[in-house]
Every structure is written in structure tokens, then in C-alpha cells.
Amino acid sequence: MEETFFMIKPDGVRRGLIGKVLERIERRGFRIERLELRSSVSQTLIDQHYESLVEQPFYPAIRDFMMSGPLVVGILSGESAIASWRQMMGATRPEEALPGTIRGDFAQAAPLGQTIQNIVHGSDSVESAAREIALWFEKEH
Ligand code: UDP
Ligand code: MG
């Protein structure tokens, strides 16, 4: 069994997609180990979450997007949960995400140069899953 960290980003919450995303998670058979709505998150937490992107010129817009409203965070467990959840999310760019994936079914391409609003997040490796779980659920903030 493996654990992964997932998130329904502010666009997903704003658009009323919490139920639809959770339904897919349950239907796939993941176990939901933790689940929380965070009504506001600090800039520090978002910067730590996206530590690999902080130096990018487009990062401030991503941070603004991630702080633009409530988000849902959680921990899923299951066999190969990290890769399985990434497959269910679909490609980062909605125009590349296959139909049947969350991003492919619910998100649209961002206009050139704008932040990609793609509904969900999932850890991309064993190391990032451990780091993100600790960051969101084991630290005080
Ligand atoms: N992002 C963006 N433009 C980019 C790269 C990333 O808007 O050129 C945003 C987008 O919301 C993406 C997030 O930053 O989901 C994290 O990027 P990453 O490459 O880690 O993609 P993911 O793991 O979410 O598929
Ligand atoms: Mg990523």
C-alpha cells in the first residue's frame, strides 16, 4: 500500500466539483485517510508546497491562484496510489489531458501566459508524497 497527497484546487471548489472529484476517488477504490477543507492557506505553505516552482517567473500568478479561495486537501491510500491518482488527474495542460481524466473532463486550456487552472493536484513521486503529507498534515501552520 502507498499513500499520496491530493488537493482539490480553488477552481475545483469554486466550480462546485468537490463531490464529483470525491466520487471518482471512491469509485476507484482509494481509501481516504485524511480529508479537510482549508478556507485559507498561508503564502508560506503554498511556497513550500511548490518549492520547485518558486523561482519561475510565472510562479507569483500560480501562488495567487492557489490562494484565491478555499481548497480541499487529503491523503489517499491504495496500491500504486501515487501513479494511479496522477493517471486519474490527467496531464497538467487541460488541452493535453485525455477525456475520462478529471482535467480532461472538467478543465479548459489556459489562455497563453496565464496560470493553468486544472482542478486537482497529486504528488508525483514517493519522495514528494512524503514531503507533501508532512507539510500539509504533520506540521503546525
Ligand atoms: N502551472 C502553470 N503553468 C506552468 C506550469 C505549472 O500554471 O507552465 C501550474 C499548474 O496549475 C500546475 C501547477 O502549476 O498544475 C504545478 O505544476 P506541475 O508542473 O507540478 O504540474 P502538475 O504536477 O500539477 O501536473
Ligand atoms: Mg506537480
Percent of the chain with pLDDT over 90: 98
Q: What is the pLDDT of residue 128?
A: 98
58 annotated to bind ligand: yes
Atom 15, ligand 1: residue with shortest CA distance: 92
Q: Is the pTM of this model over 0.85?
A: yes
5 annotated to bind ligand: no
Given a cut of 80, is residue 83 above it in pLDDT? yes
Of the candidates 86, 60, 73, the one whose C-alpha atom is nearest the C-alpha of residue 8 is 73
Residue 139 binned pLDDT confidence (cut-offs 50, 70, 90): confident
Given a cut of 70, is residue 80 above it in pLDDT? yes
Given a cut of 70, is residue 140 above it in pLDDT? no
CA dist., res. 77 & res. 1, Å (int): 7
Residue 67 binned pLDDT confidence (cut-offs 50, 70, 90): very high
Which atom of ligand 1 is nearest the CA belonging to 115? 7
What does the H/E/C string look like for 75-136?
Answer: EEEECCHHHHHHHHHCCCCCCCCCECEHHHHHCCCCCCCCCCCCCEEECCCHHHHHHHHHHH
Q: What is the pLDDT of residue 74?
A: 98
Active site residue: 6, 74, 121, 136, which one? 121
When pLDDT is averaged across residues 23-29 and rounded to a whole number, the result is 98
Q: What is the pLDDT of residue 18?
A: 98
Domains of the chain: 2-138 (3.30.70.141)
